[in-house]
Chains A and B, each alone.
Chain A
Amino acid sequence: EVQLLESGGGLIQPGGSLRLSCAASASTFGTYVMIWVRQAPGKGLEWVSTIDNTGGTTYYADSVKGRFTISRDNSKNTLYLQMNSLRAEDTAIYYCAKRAKVELRPGLYSYNMDVWGKGTTVTVSS
C-alpha cells in the first residue's frame, strides 16, 4: 500500500507564502487522483483541493481559490500545495490523501480517501 508523507509546514506571518509537499512511496503515484484536506485546531475536516492524475485538472474550495495552487511532479512521486496570501484562518493541519475509485457493481463507482498522510502543521500568526 502506498504511504504518504507531508512536509513543509511551519509558522508564517499573515500575507506570507508556504509550499507543502506530499511524498508518495509508490511508483504508481502517477495513476492516483490526489487531495489536500485540512483541519483547523479543534475543528473538523475541510476539503481544500483536488488534482487529477496528470495534473491537468484541478479543483479548489472557495475558501482558498485564487490563493492556493495544487500541483504534482509524477517523476518525483510528489504532490504540492503552494499557499499564498496566507490568513490566520488557514492555520490547520494539512493532510494529503489518495482518492480511491471502487467499482461497487458494474458501472457504479464509489469515491473515497483511502490513504492519508500524517499531516503537516501550518500556523499563520504574527
Chain B
Amino acid sequence: EIVLTQSPGTLSLSPGERATLSCRASQSVSSNYLAWYQQKPGQAPRLLIYGASSRATGIPDRFSGSGSGTDFTLTISRLEPEDFAVYYCGGSVPWTFGQGTKVEIK
C-alpha cells in the first residue's frame, strides 16, 4: 500500500507570496500517476495537475508541479486570494490521497 504524506499541514502566507507544498510517497510512484487537487470550503475537489507536472484545462500558469520517485512538489508562484484552499496530492495506481495541506491567509 502506497501512503502519501503531505507537508506542511498548514501553510500561512500572504497574497503575492510563493507557496511550496510537498508530497512524499512511502515507495516510488511513477510520476505519470501523481496528481494534485484543490478543494475550497463547501466545494468538490478540482483537478490542478496531472502526470506530476501537467496543468489541467483552465489552470493558471502560476500553478506548477514537479518531482519524481517519492518526492513531489506543488508550487504556486504568487498567491492570489482565490488560491487559499486545501490541496491534496493523489496517486492513481492504486487510488490514494495525501492528508492535505491547507494554505491559509497570514
Residues of A in contact with B (beta carbons under 8 Å apart): 35, 37, 44-47, 50, 95, 100, 102, 104, 108-114, 116-119
Contact across chains for A44 and B98 when beta carbons are under 8 A apart: yes
Q: Choose one: B39, B54, B98; the contact of A110 (CB below 8 Å).
A: B54
Interface range for B: 20 to 34
Inter-chain contact count A-B, CB under 8 Å?
63
C-alpha spacing A102/B51, complex, angstroms: 9
> A95-B45, A104-B51, A116-B44 in contact; A110/B95 too (CB < 8 A)?
no
Instruction: Report the stretch among B17-25, B30-38, B73-81 that lies at the interface.
Output: B30-38
Q: Choose one: A44, A45, A47, A104; the contact of B32 (CB below 8 Å).
A: A104
- Taking the closest CB of chain B, its distance from the CB of A61, in whole angstroms, is 8
Residues of B in contact with A (beta carbons under 8 Å apart): 32-33, 35, 37, 39, 43-47, 50-51, 54, 56, 88, 90, 92-100
- Taking the closest CB of chain B, its distance from the CB of A103, in whole angstroms, is 10
For B96, list chain A residues within 8 Å (CB). Answer: 47
C-alpha spacing A38/B79, complex, angstroms: 28
For A46, list chain B residues within 8 Å (CB). Answer: 97
